[in-house]
Structure 1
C-alpha cells in the first residue's frame, strides 16, 4: 500500500499545470457561483410574493411580475451554467494533454531499470485513465465542490436571516455529517487507491495476454489465462463494490439527516408562524432555500468521492514523475577529437539496483580496437548481455569505467552517445508501422533540404536492408511501406531479426553492439550478413554476443566470460588450443538453426524442392 499523503499537499502539486489556465478556471468558478446565487435569489422573490401579493388586498399584477422575475432568474442560471462549461472544458483538456505528453517524455528519459520494475499496464492506466479523470475533476468536480460548499454556507446565512430557530435545527444535522465525512475520507481514499492499482494490474494482464497470444494458444493455456484474468477482475469488482458501499452509506447520511432536520423544522416553523413569530412568506422562503441547498448537500458525497479519487490519481501520476533519471548527460559534455570507435573496459563492475550485493560483472578489463569485431561467449548467466547493455548506457556501471576513444561514456551527452553506439537485440522489438519507419528509426538526417534528405534516407534504407539480407521487404504487399503490425508479429522470427539488424546498420554507428541478433538465421545467411557488415561498416567496432560456433568463428577475437569475469581473450583458434573451459562452452553452444524463410529466398537454393529443404 502506497504511503498516504495529505489531501491538499497532493492537490497543490497540480498548480504548475493549472497556473496557465487559472484565469479561465476562476471565471468558470465565478459563473457557477453566480448561478447558485441566482438560484438562492428565487426563494426571496417567493417570500416577497407571498407576503405582499398573496394576502387580502394584494395586487394581482404583482403575481405576473414575480413570475417574469423568476423566469428571468431561471434563464440567467441556465446561461451561467453554460458559460461555466465554456470557460473550463477547453483549458482542462489542454492541461490533460500537456500532462500526458510530459509523462510520456519522462518515461522515455527514465532508465531501463525503472521499466524493469514497472508493469506496462500500470503506466498505461496512469497515462490514460488517471489523467482523463483529473481532467474531468478539474473541469467539473473541483469547481462544483467549491461552489457547493459556498452555496451551502450562503444558504445557511440566508436561512439564519429568516429564522435562527429553524436554521439551528438545520445546522444541527451538519455535525454528524462532518464527523462521518472525516471517517469516509480516510476509508474511501484507501479503497480508491486499491481500485486504481488493481485496474493497472488488470491492464498489464490484458497487454501480456495479447502479446503472448501465440504462446497461450500453442500450449493450450487460454483457459488458465482466462481463469487468472477472471480472478483479477473479480478482485477489482469486489473493490469497486466496497467503494460503492462506502459512498452509499455516506450518501445515506448526507441525505437522511438534512431531511429529518427539515421535517423537524417544518413542525417548529408552523408553530412559529401560528404564534406570529414568523411570516408565512418567510416560512415558504426558508423551505424553498432549504430545497435549493438540499441538492448540493446530497451531491457533496459524489463530489468528495471525486476529489479523493483525483487525489489518488495525482499521487499515482507523481509516483512516476518523481522517479529520478540516474543516467543523464553531464553539464559540459565531451567527445573525442577524432571518433575512431576504440572501446575500453576498465575494472568494470555491475549489479542491479535491487541486488547491489550480487554483482553480475566483476573487474572487467577489455580493449577493443577500432573496426575490430569482438565476440563474447560464456555459459548462460555469465553476464554477456549485461556487459553489452552498459555500452549505450542502458544501465550504468557500478564501478570502473567504459571509454570510447579515451572518453568516459559518462562524459558523453546521452543523445550523442546513442548516435555513436547502435544496438540490435536477440529479442527484437519492432513498432506497429512500416518497414521503412522501423529501419530508419535511428538513421541520421542527411541534409536540411527535404528532397536531398529523402533521397539519402532511401539510399540508407536500401543499403541497410541489403546488408541485413532483408530483401524480402520488397516482396511484401506494399514493399517497404507495408505495415508490419504490432511488434512485427506478422513477420517470421528471422525476418524480424533482419529488420532489427537493418535498423542498427542504418544508424551508421561507430560502435555496433549485437546481442546475438542472428540467432534465427541459417549459417549461409549469417555469413552473407557478416560479409556485408565488414564491407559497409569496415570502420565500425562491433561487440557481439555469440551463441553459435559460426558466429564466434567470424569474429576477429573472442572474450570468454566466466562468473562475471573475463577468463580469457584471443582468437577462436588460440582459445580452442589453450582453454578447456572455452572448449566446453563452444561444445555447448546452440546447434545451427535453419531459417526456412531465408532458404526459400536464397537464389542458391531456389532450385531445391520442398522435400529437400525440409530435410
Structure 2
C-alpha cells in the first residue's frame, strides 16, 4: 500500500488567518459563549494588573511614619478580594468555552468520518490508515485545546501585555521605554521561529501518522510476522521510524525552548536595566518608591503572559498544521456521487450488462495499458456467471466497478437497463451485495456483522434472516462459540479461521437479499464439499438473484451456469464449462493453472476448523 504522508501539501503554505478562517461556520453558533469566555479571561488579566496599583497606593500612602494599621488591613483585603475575583473569572472562562470547544471537535470528527465514508476506494488506496487515524483523533484534539485555551489566552496575553505597558508608561515613560525596547528583538526572533517551528510541527505530525500506520499494519498482520519469524525485522523498521519521530520532536522542542529562553531572558535583562534606572530616578526624587514598586509588580504580572505568548504561539502554529492536515482530507473531492436526478429501473430483476467497459487506475501513467479494455458481458436474471482468467487479468477490478467502488473510465455498466452512474449510489449498493476473498469483519458480534446490510423478506424477522443467512453460508459453527451469534469476534475477526471469516462475510452478503450478488472467490478457504453445499443453498435462497463470481478453483467454475473468460482486458469467450473446455485452448490452460494444491494458509485454516 502506498502511504500518503502529506509531507508536502498545498495547505502547508496557506496563510495563518486563512486557515483559521475556515473554522468560521463551526464557530458562528458558539461565538457568544466563546466571547463570554474571552471577556472573563480578559477581566482576569485586568484584575491581575490592578493588584500592583493597590500596592503602589499601599506603599505611598500607608507604609510611612504615622500610617494607620487599618489601611494596611483594607489594602490586604482588597488584594485578597481581587485574587478571589481573578480565580472566579478563570473558572467562568473554562465553564464558557470547554463545552462548545468539545462540541466543535465532535462536529469536525463526525464530518471527517462521513467524508471518509463517501470518498472512493481509490483515495483509501493511497492513504495510510494511521494518517487518517491521527487526523481524526490527535489533530482534532489539538484544535479543541486551542479553541478552549490557546486562542483565548493568546489574545488575552497580548492585551494584558499592552495594558501593562500602558501602566508602566504611566508610572514613568523612561522605564516603560526600556521595557518596551525588549520587544524589538523578540519580534524579530518570533518571525524566524514561526517558519522553523511550523515546518517541524508538520513533519512530526506526519511522522506520527506514519508510525500509527505501521503499528496498525503490524497488529493486523501479526500472524504473518510470527509465522515467518519476522517480528524482529518489523521491530527494527518500527524503531527507525520511532527514532526519526523522536529526533523531530527533540528538534521541535529545542526550537521552542530556544525561543522561550529568548522571550524570558530579554525582558529580565530589560528589568535589570530598569531597576538600575529606577533607583537612580528615585534617588533624584523624580520617582516615588510606590511607583517603582508598582512598575516592578506590573512587570512580575506580565512575566507570565510574556512567557505564555511564546508557548501559545507554538501551540497556535501546531494547531494551524493540524487544521491544514484536516483540510487536506476534507478538500479531497468525492468523484463517485449520485446524479442530481437519479433513476430507478422499471422492473428490478438483476439483469447486468457490461458494454465496452474499460478502466485505468487514477494514478496510472499516461499511455499505460488499461486494466480493462472493451469488456462486453451479459448476465441474465437469476443466472450464475463465473469469471475466470490468469492472475492480473483484471477480474477483481471488474467486480469492484459494478457497485462503483471504482469508477469506470469508459463504456457502460447497466443494471436492469439503467446505467449504474444514473443510480443513487446508496440505492445501487443496496441492490448489489459484495463478498471479497479478503474478508473484512468488524469488532462486534457475529449477529451485527451478518445483519450489517440485512434486508429481511416481507414477514421475516431479523433473527430469521440471520438464521437463514448462516445456514446458507454453512456457518453453523457460530452456535458452538461461547456466546453463539452474540460472540464478539475481535478486530477484523482474526480470532476466527480464514474459512470461518469467509462464511460469515458470505452470510452478510446473503442477508442483504440483493438483486445482484458479486463474489470475489469468497469460498477459497472452504473444502470442495462445503463449497458445493453453500452453492446449492444459494440457488435455493437467492433463486432470483443474479451472481457474478470470480473463480480461482475449478470446483467453483463447474458450479456456475456459464463461464466468462477474461484475457488482455477483454472477454474473449463465454459459454458453459464443458463448451469452453472443448473449444478454447486458453480456457484449458487457465483451468489447468487453477487446479493447484491448497496453500499453507488453507491447510492451517482447515486444521483450526477441525480443532
Shorter chain as denominator, the TM-score bin is: over 0.9
Deviations 1:172-200 (A, max 9, x none): 00000000001000000000000000000
- What residue is the counterpart of 2:417 in the other structure? 406
Q: Within 2, Cα distance between the matches of 1:176 and 1:109?
A: 50
What RMSD, in angstroms, separates the aligned Cα atoms of the two structures? 1.8
Counterpart of 2:4 in structure 1 is none
Is structure 2 residue 557 aligned with structure 1 residue 557? no
Does residue 141 of the first structure (1) align with residue 142 of the second (2)? Answer: no
* Separation (CA, whole Å) in 2 of partners of 1:33 and 1:444: 58
Contact 2:475/2:504, CA 8 A, preserved across alignment: yes
Q: Which residue does the alignment assign to 1:104?
A: 113
**Alpha-carbon distance in 1 for matches of 2:198, 2:267:** 25
Partner of 2:218: 209
- Structure 2 residue 479 is matched with structure 1 residue 478: no
Specify whether residues 283 and 374 from structure 1 end up closer, same or farther in structure 2 by C-alpha distance, changes over 3 A only.
same
Contact 1:525-1:598 within 8 A present in 2 as well = no
Counterpart position of 2:264: 255
Kindly indicate whether the alpha-carbon contact (under 8 Å) linking 2:382 and 2:543 is maintained by their aligned counterparts in 1: yes
Deviation of the 1:517 alpha carbon:
0.5
TM-score normalised to structure 2 length = 0.95
Change (3 A) 1:598 1:319: closer
| In structure 1, distance between residues paired with 2:171 and 2:23 | 41
Are residues 26 and 436 of structure 1, via their aligned partners in 2, closer, same or farther at CA, if it must alter by over 3 Å?
Answer: same
Asked if 1:186 is matched to 2:195, the reply is: yes
Q: Which moved more, 1:355-364 or 1:125-134?
A: 355-364
* Structure 2 Cα separation of the partners of residues 548 and 216 of structure 1: 28
Cα separation, partners in 2 of 1:445 and 1:34, compared to 1, 3 Å: farther
Provide the rounded CA distance (Å) in 1 between the counterparts of 2:595 and 2:501. 20
1:257 deviates by 0.6
Q: 1:56 Cα shift?
A: 3.2
- Residue pairs, 1:489-568, within 5 angstroms: 489-568=494-573
Residue 498 of structure 1 aligns to a residue whose secondary structure is: helix
Give the number of equivalent residue pairs.
Answer: 598
Between 285-294 and 588-597, the greater mean CA deviation after superposition: 588-597
1:154 counterpart residue number: 163
For 2:405, the equivalent position in structure 1 comes to: 394
Find the residue that maps to 2:513 and give its secondary structure.
coil
Q: Answer whether contact 2:353 2:415 (CA < 8 A) is retained.
A: yes
Residues 577 and 239 (structure 1 numbering): CA distance in 2 closer, same or farther, change over 3 Å?
Answer: same
1:357 pairs, out of 347, 354, 367, with 367
Structure 2 Cα separation of the partners of residues 323 and 65 of structure 1: 64
Question: Residue by residue, what CA displacement relative to the aligned partner does 1:348-377 show, whole Å, maximum 9, x if unpaired?
Answer: 110111015331100111111111111110
- Is residue 591 of structure 1 aligned with residue 602 of structure 2? no
Check conservation: 2:456, 2:512, Cα contact below 8 A: no
Residue segments in structure 2 that go unaligned for 5+ positions in a row: 1-7
- Equivalent residues of 2:456, 2:513 under 8 A apart: no
Q: Shift of the alpha carbon at 1:57? A: 3.7
Return the alpha-carbon distance in structure 2 between the equivalents of residues 591 and 483 of structure 1: 35
Match of 1:418 in 2: 429
Structure 2 CA distance for partners of 1:597 and 1:538, relative to 1, 3 Å = farther
Cα 1:261–1:600 shift into 2, 3 Å: closer
Partner of 2:578: 573
User: Partners of 1:586 and 1:68 in 2: how far apart?
Assistant: 95
Q: Which moved more, 1:4-13 or 1:188-197?
A: 4-13
Could you report, residue by residue, the CA deviation over 1:95-122 in whole angstroms, capped at 9, with x for unpaired residues? 1111111111111111111100000000
Q: Deviations over 1:33-60 (max 9, x none)?
A: 0001001011111111111122334333
The corresponding residue for 1:606 is none
1:31 to 32, 35, 40: 40
Residue 510 of structure 1 deviates from its aligned partner by: 0.4
Secondary structure at the counterpart of residue 346 of structure 2:
coil
Is the CA contact 1:521–1:593 (under 8 Å) kept in the aligned structure 2? no
Q: Pick which of 88-97 and 257-266 moved more.
A: 88-97
CA separation of 1:532 and 1:322: change in aligned 2, threshold 3 A? same
Deviation at 1:598, TM superposition (A): 9.8
| Counterpart Cα distance in 1 of 2:231 and 2:261 | 44
Consecutive unaligned residues of structure 1, counting only runs of 5 or more, are 603-609
Conservation of the 8 A alpha-carbon contact between 2:445 and 2:489: yes
